[in-house]
Amino acid sequence: MSGPDETDRPGFPVPSRRLSRLFRMGNLAGGVAGATLAGGLREAARGRRPRFEDLILTPGNAQRIATELSRMRGAAMKVGQLMSMDAGDVMPPEIAAILDRLRSDADPMPPRQLRDVLGAEWGRDWLKRFDHFDVRPIAAASIGQVHRARTKDGRALALKIQYPGIRDSIDSDIANISGLIRWSGAAPSGLDLRPLLEDARRQLHEEADYEREGQNLDLFAAHLAGEEDFVVPRRHADFCTPNVLAMDYVGGQPVERLTEAPQAVRDGIARRLIALVLRELFEWGAMQTDPNFANYLVEPGTERIVLLDFGAVRHFPPDLVAGFRDLMLAGLSRDAVAARRAAVAVGLMTEATPPRLADRLLAMFDTGMAPLRSDAPFDFGTTDLAQRLRDMGLEIGTEREVRHVPPSDTLLIQRKVAGTYLLAARLRARVDLAGIVAPYR
């Protein structure tokens, strides 16, 4: 039996009080400011006058930010992940590589803190409930970490354990990091970050609600019961608390590691995940909106896809689902008038959107819909579609007209679709997209 003091990985304590988290954020801001000032003085001594943003965005400062946010976990790390998502497009490669750490494992809790957390949840003698408890987490993220265990009655469990104080620190973390972003000038001038940060705050509260995630786990298990293509871990209510989510441990290979699998295997995985997105939206009105590749495993032998992490499930109102179906149908038929009407209905644009900008948005949408209109399988591995769409998006981003920020539900659906596309591209899959959308026409 493994106990919480039997590990060679010490981890870092999660700062669980608001004051301590504010102190850590202040130290981070002070460290960045000091490094920026020192860099400015060095450049001035050389007769140079660098821009402030160039002094801020250095590898040293990027390393400070990534290290501190990964140790704080919670909302601070989650917002850092959002900031790093497109770092490769706007920052030097060496800085993007450092910030990419925020999208991988966080620092785990040290054994003593883990023991205290589980003692508070299950009582002092909690370890007696297990034949084996692996103190080394199999995953550590912004909200919590996951451990393998085997119960006295032989159940193999994956235990998702929330970091202490994370739920209560979300609002203050968001406020603190918002101030840091404004002070540093990291956000583009004139960009209002309030809608993004408010949505991040809402999403974090949902992800920190393990009872809600357990309900979503049960919901998706019911939707996919008896199907051969997917596995949803079963929830074990007798080990669940507001800060612990217990489910079946299901082994598998990370989906992104199957890039050298046979073509048919890669095609089948991509086809099933794309079809799942359509089912989530059009049949269930409930979607797991986080397209992180780590949320998918593939069972060896059966090649069934294991679905993980239901904290980011969003339930959509019927009118939004109907609007996206109208938008898809308009794109398939290349009906520009219907496409504009549906785009307004789902919030991608408004009636007041300038005609030139609206035309560019609709042209971008039409380009993205082209693979769904083709009778031939779409080859994700050879197409330049993603690059063309990116170029069109960057061109739209240079427009000086007042820009409209779509509602968060619409952005989350876009994010899931885009993430699924990127996964299919990573697998270099060939998929009959027209056949997948046919049942919804």
pLDDT tens, N- to C-terminus, the chain (441 residues): 344 443 344 555 555 454 454 445 545 444 444 444 444 444 444 444 444 344 345 555 555 555 555 555 445 555 555 544 443 333 444 444 444 444 555 677 888 889 999 999 999 999 999 999 999 999 877 788 899 999 999 999 999 999 888 887 777 777 766 666 665 555 545 455 666 677 778 888 888 999 999 999 999 999 999 999 999 999 999 999 999 999 999 999 999 899 999 999 999 999 999 999 999 999 999 999 988 888 999 998 899 999 999 998 999 999 999 999 999 999 999 999 999 999 999 999 999 888 888 999 999 999 999 999 999 999 999 998 988 887 787 677 655 554 677 888 998 899 899 889 989 999 999 999 999 999 999
Distance (Å, whole) CA 224 – CA 232: 8
CA distances for 109 relative to 27, 147, 169, angstroms: 21, 12, 17
Is the same domain home to 297 and 403? yes
Is the same domain home to 173 and 298? no
- How big is the chain by its Cα radius of gyration, in Å? 23
Is the same domain home to 423 and 350? yes
Is the same domain home to 307 and 397? yes
Is the same domain home to 199 and 348? no
In a domain, 52, yes or no: yes
CA 438 to chain centre: 29
**pLDDT score, position 297:** 96
Is the same domain home to 296 and 201? no
For Cα atoms 258, 234, 248, give the angle at the middle one, nearest 5 degrees: 65
Is the same domain home to 88 and 27? yes
In a domain, 73, yes or no: yes
In a domain, 236, yes or no: no
In a domain, 142, yes or no: no
Is the same domain home to 287 and 201? no
**Sequence-distant (≥ 6) Cβ neighbours of residue 338 within 8 angstroms:** 326, 329, 330
Is the same domain home to 279 and 398? yes
In a domain, 133, yes or no: no
Distance (Å, whole) CA 406 – CA 235: 35
**pLDDT score, position 291:** 81
Is 368:360 a contact under the CB 8 Å cutoff? no
**pLDDT score, position 389:** 85
In a domain, 180, yes or no: yes
**In sequence order, what E strands does 118-181 have?**
130-133, 139-140, 144-151, 156-162
List the one residue out of 431, 294, 440, 424 whose CA is nearest residue 376: 431
Total number of domains constituting the chain: 2
* Domain coverage including residue 390: 251-441
pTM for the predicted model, two decimal places: 0.79
CA distances for 253 relative to 106, 308, 416, angstroms: 20, 13, 21
Is the same domain home to 193 and 341? no
**pLDDT score, position 150:** 98
Is the same domain home to 31 and 99? yes
Distance (Å, whole) CA 211 – CA 167: 13
**Sequence-distant (≥ 6) Cβ neighbours of residue 271 within 8 angstroms:** 429, 431, 432, 436
Is the same domain home to 380 and 441? yes
For residue 315, the SS3 value is strand
Amino acid at site 234: R
In a domain, 212, yes or no: no
For Cα atoms 44, 49, 52, give the angle at the middle one, nearest 5 degrees: 105
Q: Taken in order 14, 18, 23, 29, is the CA torsion positive or negative?
A: positive
Q: Which of 107, 173, 290, 409 is catalytic?
A: 290
Residue 267 is a catalytic residue: no
**pLDDT score, position 99:** 45
